[in-house]
Structure 1
């Protein structure tokens, strides 16, 4: 009887060791894949068993039960993070789980450029790969309401930067980040304003910074460009800046700004209307925001382009006219008249 019990014990031990060896062998072996690489997006709250099944459905050619039991046996099943993942041929079950536990995601990115309009931003979102187009059918008004800013014009309200995102994420998620980033940058910059600024609110700052962004040809000139517009606001002079007129023309602008355009009144025509336009005209970058609260110490009221991106700044109209004659062949300058 003792011999029989001993034999049974040895048989169970041998079977256990064999099973353990098989498991160890399986964990070290590359997972067979249906393609050179397999991608999977895991939504928040997905159960470990469903994760295992999803990998198999995506192209990992193994038993979903094996994967699930490995997740459980490792003690890390509940540590699997939502996100977008990719494995390539040669990846083992152990490496697959490690990737999900670390949150080692495959990230895409989209870049919003300083000076872009909201229409350009939306076009870039539409081109972005692997973004879920949740806002594609929304009007500008509905989109801003979805961001928690109903009734706010979207122009200039998003911070130009590069935003990384997981595959399958909603484009609204990216917009929320860009909107929050602009709100944060705007508040930080507004807090640094001098006591004598003619700007009355953060919205004024955003509008002016958008004009500075569009009017600056070289970064070094940005504080002087801001100073010209701030000086004009102080003395009640019209801003007379072409980019606002062009923005007001919208799709009617054909690349050629005519005299009649400057004389046609719109809310954005700073030749016919005093003060700042009603909304920003583009997305300003951080340097344009900063220049608008920390302008150069100059009394200049005019500037004109030299044609190489830089500008000549003048305190009075006589000097400005001489600069126009020197640097501009056209009857009217491309900078602020």
Structure 2
């Protein structure tokens, strides 16, 4: 009798061990077959609701093994709000990631020379970013020195979590630009004709748009500084293009150069009223530390480089060679 009882206990123990192993194996190794890369968890979401959604979507066979396992390990099945990448994971790995709050990492890049409007257009379509800019006053929110946000965002790749607001991301970019501008302005040459760091930001944005080669930035800067010191107009096409706004179709015409706009440096003296793009660190430094030259003109060679001239006669010859191909 005792022998049969021991046999029954051993059999029952074997069954329990087998079922426990089967449960463990099922819970830890079943693939999550979701037709999406990311899962968004809201505050208050429970594992039971999430698992039911996955089962309805056909991402797993059944929720009961996980619900049973969650009774044994409840702390491992609490969910933290956020956006999570769950592609190519097992169900358990996805649950574990959400439980530990290992959120997906998204990036947003502000490109050197990019305009504020171009950045806003990209923000509108960025993954899991809350576009709240229409709800805020840009000037007040970012505490710009003027009503225009152009130039005030530092070009860099910014990491963010899902649910981040566009204004929060731009605040980081703006704070970075303010720090960089303060640092660069403190390193400025003593004799430059710029009255304040905002003028340095404006000039840096022009240098950014004019320079195809980083090595030329300080030389391009010298041309603009020489012109400012002589009281000559800057006569730079990127400012004209910026002033045209949406009217610019890729072809700058003579009539555009004659048009009176606040940004037409062929018609106005000195700098335009605001920056025209987001300048890089190199452009900022070039604006306050120009190379010492006698150049007053430059023209594109068509390969990203420029030919620099000291006189109008030399410049006109360079235009005939590189632009008119004569």
Please state which band the TM-score falls in when normalised by the shorter chain: 0.7 to 0.9
The residue number in structure 1 matching 2:86 is 87
Question: What is the TM-score when the length of structure 2 is the normalising length?
Answer: 0.79
1:28-73 Cα deviation digits (max 9, x unpaired): 342665x355632235xx35x6355345435565258557546634
Partner SS state of residue 115, structure 1: coil
Partner SS state of residue 180, structure 1: helix
Q: CA deviation at 1:209?
A: 0.8
1:82-127 Cα deviation digits (max 9, x unpaired): 432132465142x234423554333333333222222222222223
CA contact (8 A) 1:156 1:280 kept: yes
Match of 2:110 among 109, 112, 124: 112
Q: CA deviation at 1:256?
A: 3.1
Alpha-carbon distance change, 226 to 151 in structure 1, aligned in 2, over 3 angstroms: closer
Partner SS state of residue 200, structure 1: coil
Partner SS state of residue 84, structure 1: strand
Partner SS state of residue 240, structure 1: coil
Unaligned runs of 5+ in 1: 1-6, 332-337
The residue number in structure 1 matching 2:171 is 176
Alpha-carbon distance change, 69 to 172 in structure 1, aligned in 2, over 3 angstroms: farther
Match of 2:119 among 118, 121, 125: 121
CA distance in 2, matches of 1:38, 1:56: 18
Partner SS state of residue 194, structure 1: coil
CA RMSD, Structure 1 to Structure 2 (Å): 3.6
Match of 1:308 among 281, 300, 303: 303
Q: CA deviation at 1:265?
A: 2.0
Count of matched residue positions in the alignment of Structure 1 and Structure 2: 313
Unaligned runs of 5+ in 2: 1-5
The residue number in structure 1 matching 2:129 is 131
1:266-311 Cα deviation digits (max 9, x unpaired): 2112122211111011111222112112222222121122232211
Partner SS state of residue 278, structure 1: coil
The residue number in structure 2 matching 1:99 is 97
Alpha-carbon distance change, 53 to 223 in structure 1, aligned in 2, over 3 angstroms: same
Q: Which moved more, 1:208-217 or 1:154-163?
A: 154-163
The residue number in structure 2 matching 1:4 is none
Partner SS state of residue 309, structure 1: coil
The residue number in structure 2 matching 1:57 is 53
